[in-house]
Chain A
Amino acid sequence: MSADLAPHFPPRRARVHEACGPGMTGFAAMLAAQLEGPVLWIREYWRPEALNPLGLSDILDPSRLLVAQVKDQTDALAVAEEALRDGSLKLVVAELGEPLGLTPGRRLQLAAKDGRSTGLCLISEGNGSNAAETRWRCTPTFDPEGLDSTLQHWDLIKNKSGTLGFWHVRWDREAHRETHRLRVVSAPGERPGAAHATG
């Protein structure tokens, strides 16, 4: 369990970050909820796993979302670069299926720097680019205490300008302000009174 999440999340602006692991969609949605304005979500149209706006509505307002359906990774990267450079969007999320090389990664990084907007690539594990500023591995975690069902384990596995760390977070949908809904919690089994709960 690392110290404060605040210096690391939301990750640095005007940079491109990466997220992997089974919980990466949730990570992207929670990041979008922390930032304001419209969000562009780039996905390849033939992938079966579609976003469900109703599920998203617990985390952020789906009307902020624009979805670009592209045919392959080349188009996805071109659209991401265009959108990052434009700067009218605070966050651009790209779902990438294939490994990302150093050159395209660096191009995205430069585009994000020009447009002062944050980029997030959702990659499969091990497909990341060296140019990424940070890389997060997100895994949903089973909570035996059953407080609610949003417990996640976020592992910062690459950081160009700081230390690594890991956190357990959950999403508090009752909190008033959208930016305050992310709660850092102790790992299951390490909480006070956990011994009684699990026996």
Chain B
Amino acid sequence: MPVSDARAFCPGLQTRIADPAGDTRFLHALRRWATRYCPWVGIEGEDGLVMDITGVAHLFGDEPLLLADLRQRLARAGFGVRLGLADTRGAAWALARFGEGEAPPGRMAEALAPLPVAALRLEPATATALQRLGLRTVGDLTATARAPLTRRFGPEVMMRLDQALGRQPEQVTPLSDPPHYGVRMTLPEPIGLQDDVMAGLARLLERLCAKLQAQEAGARMFRLTLRRVDQDAQEVELRLARPLREAARILPLFARGVGEVEAGFGIDQLRLAAVQVEPLPVQQVSSVPQGRSDQLGDLITRIGTRIGLENVQRFLPADSHIPERAFLIAPAAWSEPGGPWASPRPRPLRLFPPEAIGGTGPRPPARFRWRRMALETGRATGPERIAPEWWMSDEAWRSGLRDYWQVETRQGRRLWLFYTPQNPGWFVQGEFP
């Protein structure tokens, strides 16, 4: 129903933009909470949970008491829920959405009979077609001959009916909890020395790395939270240049961060979490060197703790004839060395933003001043015409075409000059070795 129609029915209607991703996240959180009733909890569609309470109802008294408890707790948290309880998953689904209530054990056919056929989890088109045939309720469907219905609608209708009535089994698939990479340690007496913190951290790391090892994962980022006696908490973050799970190698990398912590009256709780985790499969040890060495990765991490991991960079080739865009700069921690590198024309070693010099005409000036130096052109090679990339707007290339010249001055400097014929002017953009 469009919003305008809805407003016509209900003038005071308030609307919010739908957030399906947020709803899914919330549903997963609710799923985790629901494991307080039973271990088998799965997600049902986009808006439901399915719980297999076989053998747990007596822990809460009996089934109605469990339902009442569930409803009461959720109502206290501000949720309106619809609950259905039955012997089969299909019947519970139907009751929750269309009847709300409890089907007595073994008498599902009676409980489902008055419900519309849509309660059988059928496609909307099938449900409509069944209604047009006069089969409005589940009871009508049960009473009809099966073979003609299967011929007319395919096996799905009968399968759903059988699942709801318990003639065909259907399992609840519980979602497994994602592994939690966090460990903590509470101390009976506060500590303040750097060595003590490192010793505690070593024990935490050992436990965390065992977890990572079991999941064949490696951590990219750690967060160490140190809670002080005065309830203040200090955080130390460590970002790694490559995923790691060896405690002995990670521990020294923490030294710099732990050294900066203000211990105050002492620290009584340490909590270590791997915030970013990447899969790190076990690799065959071989004598052939593969890619980057571990030592270099550790060095990048150590440098990264000082200047930021994204500031250790490497060059990657890019496909562009614009000199400034012919390469990419990527953080070394998240990229592999790339190649091949080849420039069809000589390119300067240093590039800088264009600096204007005096000069007129399409030939390089015989004498010019650049950075307070008087220079005299000895030899000029060119022009090499580079046109701006029309599919990208670039502020620097507004002046249009550029004719590049390699100019060797009699003073020695070898410069990369360009002339813009559409907006006459001369600029220096680079220097050759």
Contact = CB atoms under 8 A, between A and B. Distances in A.
A interacts with B: yes
B29 interface: no
A25 B332 contact: no
Interface stretch (A5-13, A55-63, A97-105, A126-134): A55-63
A65 B311 CA distance: 14
Contacts, number: 151
Given A48-B353, A50-B350, A142-B408, A69 B293 contact: no
B430 interface: yes
Nearest to A26: B433
A171 B431 CA distance: 16
Contacts of A141: 412
A59 B346 CA distance: 11
B350 A139 contact: no
Given A139-B412, A140-B414, A69 B343 contact: no
B299 A83 contact: yes
A55 B339 contact: no
Interface string B288-313: 00000101101110110011000111
Contacts of A88: 293, 295-296, 299
Interface residues of A, number: 52
A149 B306 contact: no
A49 B432 contact: no
B302 A82 contact: yes
Nearest to B378: A142
B323 interface: yes
Contacts of B303: 68, 79, 82-83
Given A67-B315, A82-B306, A142-B408, A25 B433 contact: yes
A87 B295 CA distance: 9
**How big is the B interface, by class?**
35 or more
B313 A67 contact: yes
Nearest to A48: B352
A64 B22 CA distance: 44
Contact of B341 (A22, A62, A69, A82): A62
Interface in A77-111: 78-79, 82-83, 86-89
25 contacts: A22-B431, A26-B349, A38-B296, A48-B353, A51-B350, A52-B350, A53-B317, A53-B327, A55-B347, A55-B349, A55-B350, A55-B351, A61-B339, A62-B339, A62-B341, A63-B339, A67-B314, A68-B312, A68-B313, A82-B306, A89-B299, A139-B412, A144-B378, A149-B432, A150-B432
Interface of A: 22-23, 25-26, 29-30, 38, 45, 48-59, 61-71, 75, 78-79, 82-83, 86-89, 139-144, 146, 149-150, 152-153, 171
Contact of A71 (B307, B326, B348, B408): B307
Interface centre among A52, A64, A67, A78 (most CB of B within 10 A): A52
B409 to A, nearest CB: 7
Given A55-B351, A140-B432, A150-B433, 18 more contacts: A22-B431, A25-B350, A29-B433, A38-B296, A53-B315, A53-B317, A55-B349, A55-B350, A58-B343, A66-B332, A70-B307, A79-B307, A86-B295, A89-B296, A142-B379, A143-B408, A149-B408, A149-B432
Contacts of A55: 343, 346-351, 430, 432-433
A82 to B, nearest CB: 6
B413 interface: yes
A52 B430 contact: yes
A20 to B, nearest CB: 14
A65 B341 CA distance: 12
A150 to B, nearest CB: 6
Q: Is the interface of B mostly helix, strand, loop or mixed?
A: mixed
A57 B343 contact: yes
B424 interface: no
B77 interface: no
Interface string B308-334: 000111110100000100110100100
B396 to A, nearest CB: 13
B13 interface: no
B334 to A, nearest CB: 13
Nearest to B416: A55
Contact of A54 (B326, B406, B410): B326
A88 to B, nearest CB: 4
Contacts of A64: 337
B411 interface: yes
Given A55-B430, A70-B307, A86 B315 contact: no
Contacts of A65: 314-315
Interface string B375-410: 000110100000000000000000000000010111
Contact of A51 (B298, B346, B349): B349
Contacts of B409: 142
Given A23-B433, A142-B378, A49 B352 contact: yes
A53 B413 CA distance: 20
B306 A57 contact: no
B342 interface: yes
A127 to B, nearest CB: 18
A142 B411 contact: yes
Contact of B307 (A25, A62, A75, A87): A75
A69 B329 CA distance: 11
A88 B289 CA distance: 14
A57 B342 contact: yes
